Chains A and B, each alone.
Chain A
């Protein structure tokens, strides 16, 4: 097994630059998830690691080997595609054995490898079927099986769950996690689904427009997003962002009315500085408290256990979302007060970068 290192990867398709200098280090055995909106270059990056796409510039190494100029089969990777890409005319067994057969492995060696992979994925009964006779989830397993048989140093997954229905996706997500625990293989996993990223990753890389926005553990990214993009990308419903100006007393005057106290900052902000105040929906507390602001409830989405309450500030502006346990008490049109606790506020400057807080003791 081995780690992966990408140095300043750039990729142009004609005039358009899709990767604009991406550097990534994945430690041996780590499960790293690349997440980002559609078209940000995730697949391109993964395909470059696989050797299916040539970089315009930059280096890629796996373990201590520079693989930039090696063909896909010599890089020690295995890839699972979104469409599974099984060979339709071969049985499940032959699909999984294809690579070893090409490599002229002995029959017993192939049988062993296929049997082991099939056992891990519980697909032994399917070995003699053709892909056409499998369900979506089973095809997915076979595709993973084909990757396992290769015994790669690195697994590459490109949105492997996005063709499955919601139920199966949750189950397969769990299986990915346990598979990684069992095999311990270094994994690079691409998705645009932030829930997959949060639940699976040791480390998340947020990519936007070919640039890395932030790298860190799911917890770190959730708690201290480096900018508004990351802050809003992770978490549902997404973080509320309120435009504000720093007031003379060091609190923030919201553009839509009201004033919120700010957490202690690393460096004080000059009065009049425009800022964005971010707060996660689950951090808003509805109910009387010192410093609470008046709101009108415009809409309540009841999700069963939880409810998302949309609150409109007295002076208008976009409603903000608040998530809480649903006790059935709140009604649309009702007037309430809600507190934005200073401790839970995220502060961003005019171009969306996080303003650092005072270091915690």
Chain B
């Protein structure tokens, strides 16, 4: 390898280390005894690794329940978001209907409004509908994200019309075209979108905090926040909680990597 290649590799490794260092330390601290991380200078590795923090978390604190809540909410949010977003994005890109472009412009314009501004009206709406303090209420904001629709639409625009027309001539209904032609081509973008929604709803703190009052319904971030109020000094326990929160999404992310990095459209048309 040339010097140039080496220096690029070294630089990349350095940046990677810089970004992962806090994560690695988080894991390391979660195995420390109470108070150990507060020493100065802070130790990199636990002197005597212990599972005590995890025992507390899953035992008396009952994080298992919140983990399950989070998994349920995020999974449902992802599935529902895909169900609504993909057909919408496809329709905005490829189907002709009255007011299509005007509606889409309106949606995109709404993207510039920060989500926090909509929270109060949304909360009042849900209250009127009796959805406050339920998972349904927690899921509503994820159902049809504008960004997701936008993403799917942009990707659909690259699907040649002639391919859909060929399918129409082959006798496929619009539903069959979506299912059998468009969805397989969209795989990379669907995985990406699913990941975004899952991560977003998994890490979301504000909305579940607002809408979920019952402790038993808390998602992980809300539960951790509640815990940190009681255990401000307990860095090691908090880090164990953070590990439980980040690990599942990290695994998901790595597992799906190969899907959203690949493109499928090659070979349909000339080229």
Q: Closest 4 A-B residue pairs measured CB to CB?
A: A132-B267, A73-B171, A99-B170, A88-B268
Interface string of B148-189 (1 = CB under 8 A from A): 000000000000101101111111100010001100110000
A78 at the interface (CB under 8 A from B): yes
Residue in A closest to B173 when the chains form the complex, CB atoms: A102
Inter-subunit contact B181/A87 (CB<8 Å): yes
**Which residue of chain A is the closest to B165 with respect to CB atoms?**
A52
Interface residues in A145-188 by Cβ distance below 8 A to B read 146, 150, 163
**Chain A residue at smallest Cβ distance from B166:** A85
- Contacts of B172 on A, CB cut-off 8 Å? 73, 98, 102
**Contact of B264 with A by CB under 8 A:** yes
CB of A79 within 8 A of CB of B160, answer: no
As a 0/1 sequence over residues 120 to 156 of chain A, the CB contacts with chain B under 8 angstroms (1 = contact) are 0000000000111110100100000010001000000
- B residues 229-271 in Cβ contact with A at 8 Å: 264-270
With A89-B184, A102-B172 given, is the CB distance from A133 to B162 under 8 Å? no
Chain A residues whose CB sits within 8 angstroms of the CB of B166 once the complex forms: 79, 81, 85-87, 146
Interface of chain A residues 63 through 85 with chain B (CB within 8 A): 71-73, 77-79, 81-85
Kindly report which residue of chain B lies nearest to residue A132, judged by CB atoms.
B267
Q: Does A103 contact B (CB under 8 A)?
A: yes
Q: B270 — which chain A residues lie within 8 A by C-beta?
A: 82-84, 136, 139, 163
Q: Give the nearest-CB partner of B177 in chain A.
A: A102
The yes or no answer to A50 lying at the interface (CB within 8 A) is yes
Q: Which residues of A contact B167 (CB under 8 A)?
A: 87, 98
Number of interface residues of A (CB under 8 A): 32
Can you give 25 contacting A-B residue pairs, CB < 8 Å? A51-B169, A71-B168, A73-B169, A73-B172, A78-B169, A79-B165, A79-B166, A81-B162, A83-B162, A83-B269, A83-B270, A84-B268, A85-B166, A86-B166, A87-B163, A87-B268, A89-B185, A98-B172, A99-B170, A130-B267, A133-B267, A139-B267, A139-B270, A146-B166, A146-B170
> Across the two chains, which residue of chain A brings its CB closest to B181?
A87
**Residues from 245 to 273 in A contacting B, C-beta threshold 8 Å:** none
Known: A73-B171, A102-B176. 19 other contacts (CB 8 A): A50-B169, A52-B168, A71-B168, A72-B169, A73-B169, A78-B169, A79-B169, A81-B166, A83-B162, A83-B268, A85-B162, A85-B165, A86-B163, A86-B269, A88-B264, A99-B169, A103-B171, A130-B267, A150-B169
B contact residues, total (Cβ < 8 Å): 23
Point out the residues of chain B lying under 8 angstroms from A83, CB to CB: 160, 162, 268-270
The smallest C-beta distance from A110 to any residue of chain B, in angstroms, reads 13
Q: Tell me, rounded to whole Å, the shortest Cβ–Cβ distance linking A87 to chain B.
A: 6
Q: Nearest-CB distance from A160 to chain B (Å)?
A: 11
**Which among B162, B163, B185 has the highest number of chain A CB atoms within 10 Å?**
B162
The smallest C-beta distance from B176 to any residue of chain A, in angstroms, reads 6
List residues 231-253 of chain A with CB under 8 A from any CB of chain B: none
Chain B residues whose CB sits within 8 angstroms of the CB of A50 once the complex forms: 165, 169
B177 to chain A, nearest CB (A): 10
Query: Closest approach, in angstroms, between the C-beta of B186 and any C-beta of chain A?
Result: 10
Question: A51 to B163, alpha carbons, bound, how many Å?
Answer: 15
B267 x A72 contact (CB < 8 A): no
B167, B266, B269 — most chain A CB neighbours (10 Å): B269
Q: Nearest Cβ in chain A — how far from B39, in angstroms?
A: 57
Chain B residue contacts of A82, Cβ below 8 A: 162, 270
- Alpha-carbon distance A131/B184, docked complex (angstroms): 14
For residue B270, give the distance in angstroms from its CB to the closest CB of chain A.
4
C-alpha spacing A77/B266, complex, angstroms: 27
Complex Cα distance, B176 from A27, in Å, reads 35
Closest B residue to A50 by CB, please name it: B169
Question: Cβ of A84 and Cβ of B269 under 8 Å apart?
Answer: yes
Residue among A50, A73, A77, A103 with the most chain B CB within 10 A? A73
Closest residue of chain B to A104 (Cβ to Cβ) is B171
A86 to B164, CA, bound (A): 10
- Whether the Cβ atoms of A85 and B168 lie closer than 8 Å is no
Residues of A within 8 A of B268 (CB): 83-88, 131
A88: contacting residue among B162, B176, B267, CB under 8 A = B267
- Could you say which residues of chain A place their CB within 8 Å of the CB of B264? 88-89
Closest residue of B by beta carbon distance from A80: B166
Point out the residues of chain B lying under 8 angstroms from A77, CB to CB: 169
